[in-house]
């Protein structure tokens, strides 16, 4: 047994597939000859716990490099109801995990690598470098290769997390039933049971095969139930059989991003490094390819991070979303995929090695509607920001003829205010109770008007203080809406809300100064650059938040528009639209229902606004700046109780 005083060059935590493939790649390059190696695994790895399959071109190096562990290869395929086809210049290969583990044990014995059956409790680092903790002992080394399964935290609101679960039997039939050169990939002739379910048949002789029931589903398959399904399938297809071995397993299919190791000498491997392709569960060949890359740069410090191309992450998430929300669509989608594409083309697509043009040609042949619904479900924020970008560009073009720009803004502004701008703030009376309670209405209106009047009083008596208050709670409220959309902390939400507000005002300093002068009687100048907003851009890009990036794009464009149009785009196209989505989604009500509920207060707001502008000196002036000031005061008084109500609404759902 190791002692805490001992230190190693490399410690491998976990001795599964990824570690084995990396050790093979390093050994082939003789990169471990002079090194002290420790391999730790809580399991003795003496059982065949998994069967790994992958496809490859006949001349691909993987077939040569893994020759010693590949147990079988198939050259013909039967897939998703299609008749049997010869794979053109490709094979589907199988590696039994036990063969892989034994291969590594043999290498370890030859090369003096130390293997210990222990559970590692923690992997960490300090100023002296990385370490691994086992039974309270700290083992130090130059680099840790960590392949413990990733801890899947609770998926975020926009994440999709499914399980691919298997129940497989290695069977021996009484008479020859199989063609050893042909395997079956997705036989959907099993009950779907509200999931996407199919069977793999991987024969190794005329009488022997691994027959595996596979489920893509929200829940893991119940092994007893799965075995009954499998037994019925096997009995129907092959009659009585002898079951030689059983295999159960589960692969996460997740759009969630995995955390990084936090130290440049702690390298995550395999599933922990995000190498499982979310939409298929395949990882073996990616792990092989990653190991080759890692071995090639073994002596360099940077961790060869595995990065999926954004468009493939997008496709994966769409498919996962469909499989989660509309599992009955899985069978027709896969059947159509293989009916319109050769298996080799599908494999190339799954390997993420197809050209964009071919990908698009392939995707347009799939059933459109589930994909469109999935885009609406998971990418609505990006689509929304793209729509606002589109309108921002339209207004910029209209700017060549200012009267057209003004007319366009007036039409869209009134429409937008009537559809969501005012209604999103006119349903505060149902946010608490879920529906209109006539008995509670007088008290609600009294309290609401009371808060609005208090603020109006503040504006009247202390206009500068009123303005400050208005800016602070607007920043809070705008930030809170976006924070809810993107699941941010309160601090980040407030900082974002403040930077957006400063940007809108600061990039229109002449107009905002004039309005502020009218509102507070004070002149105003901003010492901070409003373009500080773009410090958020690298954060948005790092977090791959495309909706956020698009929002920054159209905000920057809006700096060339008049203040009222830029603010209108933000208020209606971004803030109110988001608030509307939160209200309808959380109350589980349709937009029409919520809009009807908003009508009394919404109409009341128009009447109040009209009256306010009518009675306010200069309120109906033709100079937009003249009425902008009273309009903002009116908006601030009306929005103050709304900000309060929305805060309570969001808090209630956060704490639920």
- In the complex, which residues of this chain contact ligand FAD (CB under 6 A)? 13-19, 40-43, 50-54, 119-120, 147-149, 166, 249-251, 269-272, 276, 281-284
Q: Which of 294, 289, 296, 259 is nearest to 274 (CA)?
A: 259
Minimum separation from the CB atom of position 6 to ligand FAD (A): 18
For the chain, what is the total number of helices (H) and then of strands (E)?
A: 23, 17
Instruction: Report how far residue 569's alpha carbon sits from residue 393's, in angstroms, rounded to the nearest whole number.
Output: 11
Residue nearest ligand FAD, Cβ-based: 16
Q: Which of 329, 338, 415 is nearest to 367 (CA)?
A: 329
Closer by beta carbon to ligand FAD, 87 or else 458: 87
Closer by beta carbon to ligand FAD, 220 or else 596: 220
SS3 track for 449-461: HHHHHHHHHHHHH
Closer by beta carbon to ligand FAD, 201 or else 552: 201
Instruction: Report how far residue 314's alpha carbon sits from residue 84's, in angstroms, rounded to the nearest whole number.
Output: 31
Phi-psi region at 435: left, alpha or beta (left = phi > 0; alpha = psi -120 to 50): beta
Closer by beta carbon to ligand FAD, 46 or else 401: 46
Minimum separation from the CB atom of position 246 to ligand FAD (A): 12
Question: How many angstroms separate the Cα of 538 from the Cα of each of 37, 384, 543, 545, 552?
Answer: 39, 21, 8, 10, 11
Closer by beta carbon to ligand FAD, 268 or else 384: 268
549, 537 in Cβ contact below 8 A? yes
Whose tokens are 């407030």? That residue is 494
Q: What is the SS3 assignment for 146?
A: strand
Closer by beta carbon to ligand FAD, 99 or else 584: 99
Closer by beta carbon to ligand FAD, 230 or else 455: 230
Closer by beta carbon to ligand FAD, 42 or else 129: 42
Q: What is the SS3 assignment for 22?
A: helix
Reading the block at residue 357, the tokens are 């043009």
| Residue 165 main-chain phi, psi, to 5 deg | -110, 150
Residue 354 DSSP class: S
The Cα diameter of the chain in Å comes to 97
Q: Are strands 70-74 and 85-86 parallel, antiparallel or unpaired?
A: unpaired
Closer by beta carbon to ligand FAD, 306 or else 644: 306
Q: Which of 87, 68, 69, 67 is nearest to 77 (CA)?
A: 87
The residues with which 117 forms a beta bridge, in sequence order, are 41
Residue 129 DSSP class: E
Closer by beta carbon to ligand FAD, 38 or else 456: 38
Closer by beta carbon to ligand FAD, 216 or else 631: 216
Closer by beta carbon to ligand FAD, 16 or else 416: 16
Q: Which of 501, 503, 459, 487 is nearest to 545 (CA)?
A: 487
For 601-619, b where at least 16 C-beta lie within 10 A, e where not — what string?
A: bbeebeeebeebbeebeeb
Question: How many CB atoms sit inside 10 A of residue 128's CB?
Answer: 9
Minimum separation from the CB atom of position 291 to ligand FAD (A): 10
Closer by beta carbon to ligand FAD, 218 or else 586: 218
Minimum separation from the CB atom of position 587 to ligand FAD (A): 40
Q: What is the SS3 assignment for 171?
A: strand
Whose tokens are 């207004």? That residue is 395
Minimum separation from the CB atom of position 369 to ligand FAD (A): 30
What angle do the packed helices 441-461 and 624-655 form, to 10 degrees? 130
Minimum separation from the CB atom of position 287 to ligand FAD (A): 6
Minimum separation from the CB atom of position 250 to ligand FAD (A): 6
Minimum separation from the CB atom of position 148 to ligand FAD (A): 4
Minimum separation from the CB atom of position 162 to ligand FAD (A): 14
Minimum separation from the CB atom of position 105 to ligand FAD (A): 13
Minimum separation from the CB atom of position 649 to ligand FAD (A): 42
Minimum separation from the CB atom of position 52 to ligand FAD (A): 4
Strands (E) located in 174-303: 182-187, 196-203, 208-217, 241-254, 266-268
Residues ≥6 apart with Cβ < 8 Å to 655: none
Closer by beta carbon to ligand FAD, 52 or else 131: 52
513, 506 in Cβ contact below 8 A? no
Minimum separation from the CB atom of position 271 to ligand FAD (A): 4
Whose tokens are 């366009």? That residue is 408
Handedness of CA 496, 502, 506, 510 (dihedral sign): positive
Instruction: Report how far residue 31's alpha carbon sits from residue 492's, in angstroms, rounded to the nearest whole number.
Output: 46
Minimum separation from the CB atom of position 282 to ligand FAD (A): 4
Burial degree of 460 (CB within 10 A; 0-12, 13-18, 19+): exposed
Closer by beta carbon to ligand FAD, 276 or else 561: 276
The residues with which 95 forms a beta bridge, in sequence order, are 52, 70
Minimum separation from the CB atom of position 599 to ligand FAD (A): 54
Minimum separation from the CB atom of position 8 to ligand FAD (A): 15
Instruction: Report how far residue 604's alpha carbon sits from residue 359's, in angstroms, rounded to the nearest whole number.
Output: 53
Closer by beta carbon to ligand FAD, 202 or else 555: 202
């Amino acid at each position: 047994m190791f002692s805490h005083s001992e230190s190693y060059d490399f410690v491998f935590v976990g001795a599964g597939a990824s570690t084995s493939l990396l050790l093979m790649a390093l050994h082939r390059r003789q990169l471990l000859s002079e090194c002290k190696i420790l391999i730790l695994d809580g399991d003795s790895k003496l059982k065949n716990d998994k069967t790994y399959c992958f496809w490859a071109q006949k001349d691909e190096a993987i077939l040569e490099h893994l020759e010693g562990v590949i147990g079988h290869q198939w050259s013909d395929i039967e897939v998703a109801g299609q008749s049997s086809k010869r794979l053109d210049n490709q094979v589907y290969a199988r590696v039994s995990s036990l063969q892989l583990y034994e291969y590594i044990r043999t290498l370890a014995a030859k090369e003096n690598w130390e293997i210990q059956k222990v559970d590692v409790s923690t992997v960490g680092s300090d100023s002296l470098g990385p370490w691994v903790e086992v039974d309270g002992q700290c083992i130090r080394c130059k680099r840790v290769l960590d392949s413990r399964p990733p801890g899947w935290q609770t998926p975020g609101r926009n994440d999709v997390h499914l399980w691919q679960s298997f129940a497989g039997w290695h069977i021996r039939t009484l008479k020859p039933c199989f063609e050893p050169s042909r395997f079956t990939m997705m036989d959907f002739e099993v009950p779907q049971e509200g999931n996407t379910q199919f069977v793999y048949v991987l024969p190794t002789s005329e009488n022997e095969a691994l027959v595996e029931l596979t489920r893509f589903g929200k829940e893991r398959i119940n092994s007893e139930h799965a075995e009954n399904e499998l037994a019925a399938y096997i009995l129907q297809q092959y009659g009585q059989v002898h079951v030689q071995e059983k295999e159960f397993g589960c692969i996460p299919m997740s759009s969630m991003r995995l955390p990084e190791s936090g130290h440049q000498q702690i390298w995550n491997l395999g599933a922990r490094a995000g190498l499982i392709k979310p939409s298929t569960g395949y990882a073996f060949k990616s792990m092989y390819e990653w190991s080759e890359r890692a071995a090639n740069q073994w002596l360099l410090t940077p961790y060869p991070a595995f990065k999926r191309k954004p468009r493939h992450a997008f496709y994966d998430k769409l498919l996962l979303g469909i499989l989660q929300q509309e599992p009955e669509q899985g069978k027709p989608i896969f059947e159509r995929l293989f009916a319109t594409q050769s298996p080799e083309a599908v494999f190339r697509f799954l390997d993420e090695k197809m050209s964009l043009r071919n990908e698009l040609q392939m995707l347009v042949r799939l059933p459109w509607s589930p994909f469109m619904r999935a885009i609406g479900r998971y990418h609505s924020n990006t689509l929304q920001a793209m729509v606002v970008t589109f309108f921002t560009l339209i207004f910029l073009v209209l700017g060549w003829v200012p009267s057209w720009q003004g007319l366009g803004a007036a039409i869209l502004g009134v429409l937008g205010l009537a559809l969501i701008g005012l209604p999103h703030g006119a349903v505060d009376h149902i946010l608490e109770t879920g529906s209109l309670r006539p008995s509670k209405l007088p008290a609600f209106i009294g309290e609401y008007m009371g808060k609005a009047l208090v603020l109006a009083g503040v504006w009247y008596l202390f206009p500068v203080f009123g303005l400050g208050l208005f800016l602070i709670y607007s920043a809070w409220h705008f930030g809170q809406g976006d924070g809810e959309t993107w699941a941010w902390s309160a601090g980040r939400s407030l900082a974002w809300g403040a930077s957006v507000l400063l940007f809108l005002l600061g990039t229109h300093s002449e107009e905002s100064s004039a309005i502020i002068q009218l509102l507070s009687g004070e002149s105003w100048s901003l010492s901070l650059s409003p373009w500080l907003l773009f410090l958020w851009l690298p954060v948005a890009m790092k977090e791959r938040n495309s909706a956020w990036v698009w929002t920054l794009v159209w905000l920057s464009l809006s700096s060339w528009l008049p203040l009222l149009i830029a603010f209108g785009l933000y208020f209606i196209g971004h803030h109110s639209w988001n608030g509307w989505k939160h209200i309808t989604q959380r109350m589980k009500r349709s937009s029409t229902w919520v809009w009807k509920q908003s009508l009394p207060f919404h109409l009341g707001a128009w009447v109040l606004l009209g009256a306010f502008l009518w009675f306010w000196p200069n309120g109906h002036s033709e100079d937009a700046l003249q009425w902008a000031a009273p309009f903002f005061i009116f908006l601030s008084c009306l929005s103050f109780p709304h900000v309060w109500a929305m805060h309570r609404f969001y808090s209630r759902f956060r704490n639920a």
